[in-house]
Amino acid sequence: MVKSTIKLFYTGAVVFVLLIFFIDREILPESVRLLGKGTAEYNDQTIYGITSTYARLTQKADLTRLIYTLMHVPNFHWILIEDSVEKTPLVRRLLQKSGLKYTHLNKKNKKNSHHKSGVKDLLTRNAALAWVRNNVTQGVVYFMDDDNTYDLKLFEEMRTTKVASVWPVGLVGGLVVEGPVRCKNGKVLTWRVTWETNRTIPIDMAGFAINTALLRQHPDVKFVDAFDLESIFLGDLGLTRDKMEAKGNNCREVNVWHTQTAKANLYQEKVAQQLGDEYNPIIET
Amino acid sequence: MVKSTIKLFYTGAVVFVLLIFFIDREILPESVRLLGKGTAEYNDQTIYGITSTYARLTQKADLTRLIYTLMHVPNFHWILIEDSVEKTPLVRRLLQKSGLKYTHLNKKNKKNSHHKSGVKDLLTRNAALAWVRNNVTQGVVYFMDDDNTYDLKLFEEMRTTKVASVWPVGLVGGLVVEGPVRCKNGKVLTWRVTWETNRTIPIDMAGFAINTALLRQHPDVKFVDAFDLESIFLGDLGLTRDKMEAKGNNCREVNVWHTQTAKANLYQEKVAQQLGDEYNPIIET
């Protein structure tokens, strides 16, 4: 009776191990196995959100709103980098008040060749990457615009990123949904894109996350001054389309939208300013 | 010993009552005293936020983001009214998932005479007011756009509204800040406005809150089809500029911004839709 129970136990254990081995081969990309990690290790990883921000009329509002979303995300570390020559008191106060775990950086972006106004946030993003490489041993990196909209589910899904993950993004690239839209067993079958469809990995900045281990394996890879900077960055990290871990409930859900805050139109501000000091006290906005 | 203690107690009580009486006369407007309430009663009032919403590309994103702000507000009841002939599954799901205390209503707005596209949200706001009059015995009413930005401090300040309160609003009326900007002892000294400066109470919809008791005192007052609908509404409720309780740290802080989400530009959507079914699965956005 005891012997047969022990035999049953060992048989079960062997079947279990073989099962895990084959499931692993089936659904995980090669690069995951190369990193040699088990799934359980990824369930409580810290997410490092990298956000570039710059002074403008709607900045305080946009950051305030984003902070209220981030306050709901457990194990989150916000790397907020100001596109400025100095850190500003406005941003410093917002961060201190937020109660978030954060790192406050600054770096002045430069205009560059590929865009009328420069490829957005090139130097700030690379400075934040350098900070991550120098300070983080384990986690997931995600690039976040300060006026995008994030569903909390997105963070819980990206948290299990083993190497690099990808998901659909709403309202970007002239489309309602862009990126992976049909996925199976964690692999992307169909990419919905209309711009430069032959890119290595055709995805917007809001549509992927990477494990910091990958950044450390490729210590020199950073964003370059090109329109398809996301795809080049991911390619330089050794990624291909079928190495990307598909999230978003197998790409059936949009959990991030590339919303943009309309520029404030202050057509009456000059008139108000001429009313005199009494009407124009210093109020931080 | 016992007698002198009792005497001291009575003297203290009389001084206290007189003190409260004079403080009350000093800082509270007449209308507050007419309602006959003490300050303490207002500290934990429920805030009834009334929000009109309509189907559009950025609706789910805007509501998602607003929900994450509202989740941080204690004693809050959201009256979300859809501008539609029927309630939509998208909004219903968002509300259910939110965990907020809410009432889900719907009412189709009509175009009206005073604006190319109609005075915004006229019928939905009045339908929500009717719901409040029928269902709420005590609380504060605040009208909230679904794409505005709210600092949590705003709710804590408006919660103590005795009759009607007012505060500065950011990025509205063509101005960085509009509404009261210099206040003292809870009274407004200076109104910063450039449009129709002679309005009874020159304030945007996002800049005031009213106690439900006032709504019940004036059971027939509702929004009318006019450009200055806020001011007419407040005037019809018997309010004047000096009856408004000034909030916003005596009008020195902006805690609400009239942000607007840019319309999504889907210039590539037609191209994507021609790619066929595989590229166009049904994904709620």
Q: Where are the domains of chain A?
A: 1-36, 37-257
Give the CA dihedral A173, A174, A176, A178, nearest 10 degrees. Answer: -20
Element (H, E) at A165: strand A164-166
Across residues B123-137, what is the average pLDDT? 97
Known catalytic membership, residue A157 = no
Whole-number mean pLDDT of chain B? 90
- Give the pLDDT confidence score for residue B28 in this predicted structure: 44
Relative to beta strand A187-192, strand B47-53 is unpaired
Question: Higher pLDDT residue, B13 or B227?
Answer: B227
- Give the pLDDT confidence score for residue A111 in this predicted structure: 76
Cα-flanking dihedrals φ and ψ of residue B35, to 5°?
A: -75, -15
Number of residues that make up chain A: 285
- In angstroms, the CA A216 to CA A114 distance is 28
- Give the pLDDT confidence score for residue B9 in this predicted structure: 62
- In angstroms, the CA A215 to CA A210 distance is 8
- In angstroms, the CA B188 to CA B247 distance is 9
Question: Which chain B residue lies closest to A282 (C-alpha atoms)?
Answer: B252
Nearest to A272 among B175, B254, B285 (CB): B175
B176/A62 CB distance under 8 A: no
Contacts of B136 (CB under 8 A, 6+ apart): B46, B48, B212
Which of B59, B67, B68 best tests the A interface by mutation, with the highest count of A CBs <10 A? B68
Determine which one of A230, A253, A269, A284 is catalytic: A230
Residue indicated by tokens 């049953």: A8
Contacts of A8 (CB under 8 A, 6+ apart): none
Nearest to B181 among A149, A175, A279 (CB): A279
What residues of A are in contact with residue B64 (Cβ under 8 Å)? 149, 151, 257
What residues of A are in contact with residue B280 (Cβ under 8 Å)? 181, 192
- In angstroms, the CA A252 to CA B283 distance is 6
Q: Number of residue pairs across A and B with CB atoms under 8 Å?
A: 153
Nearest to A176 among B175, B253, B269 (CB): B269
Across residues B227-255, what is the average pLDDT? 97
CB B141 within 8 A of CB B48: yes
- In angstroms, the CA B204 to CA B196 distance is 12
pLDDT in tens, chain A (285 residues): 456 666 766 766 665 555 555 544 444 444 444 454 566 788 899 999 999 999 999 999 999 999 999 999 999 999 999 999 999 999 999 999 999 999 999 999 987 655 555 588 999 999 999 999 999 999 999 999 999 999 999 999 999 999 999 999 999 999 999 999 999 999 999 999 999 999 999 999 999 999 999 999 999 999 999 999 999 999 999 999 999 999 999 999 999 999 999 999 999 999 999 999 999 999 999
Query: Active-site residue numbers of B?
Result: 230
Rg (CA), chain B: 22
B268/A61 CB distance under 8 A: no
CA–CA distances in Å: residue A120 to residues A112, A239, B112: 9, 23, 43
Question: Which chain B residue lies closest to A249 (C-alpha atoms)?
Answer: B283
Is the pLDDT assigned to residue B270 strictly greater than 70? yes
- In angstroms, the CA B47 to CA B132 distance is 11
Lateral strand order in the sheet of B256-257: B149-150, B256-257, B169-172, B175-184, B187-192
- Give the pLDDT confidence score for residue B63 in this predicted structure: 98
Instruction: Give the DSSP letter of residue B85.
Output: S
- Give the pLDDT confidence score for residue A119 in this predicted structure: 84
Closest CA of chain A from B56, distance in Å: 11
Annotated binding site of A: 147
Residue pLDDT, tens place only, A187-239: 999 999 999 999 999 999 999 999 999 999 999 999 999 999 999 999 999 99
Contacts of A93 (CB under 8 A, 6+ apart): none
What residues of A are in contact with residue B167 (Cβ under 8 Å)? none
- Give the pLDDT confidence score for residue B40 in this predicted structure: 75
- In angstroms, the CA A155 to CA B272 distance is 28
- Give the pLDDT confidence score for residue A26 in this predicted structure: 40
CB A210 within 8 A of CB A140: yes
The hierarchical CATH code for the domain A37-257 is 3.90.550.10
| Poorest-pLDDT segment among B16-20, B100-104, B202-206, B276-280 | B16-20
**Distance between the two ends of chain A, CA-based, in angstroms?**
77
CA–CA distances in Å: residue A119 to residues A109, A123, A125, A200, B272: 9, 9, 11, 19, 25
- In angstroms, the CA B120 to CA B227 distance is 10
Annotated binding site of A for Mn(2+): 147
Closest CA of chain A from B16, distance in Å: 37
Is the pLDDT assigned to residue B20 strictly greater than 70? no
- Give the pLDDT confidence score for residue B116 in this predicted structure: 56
What residues of B are in contact with residue A149 (Cβ under 8 Å)? 61-62, 64-65
Element (H, E) at B257: strand B256-257
ipTM of the complex: 0.86
- Give the pLDDT confidence score for residue B154 in this predicted structure: 98
Contacts of A37 (CB under 8 A, 6+ apart): A162, A213
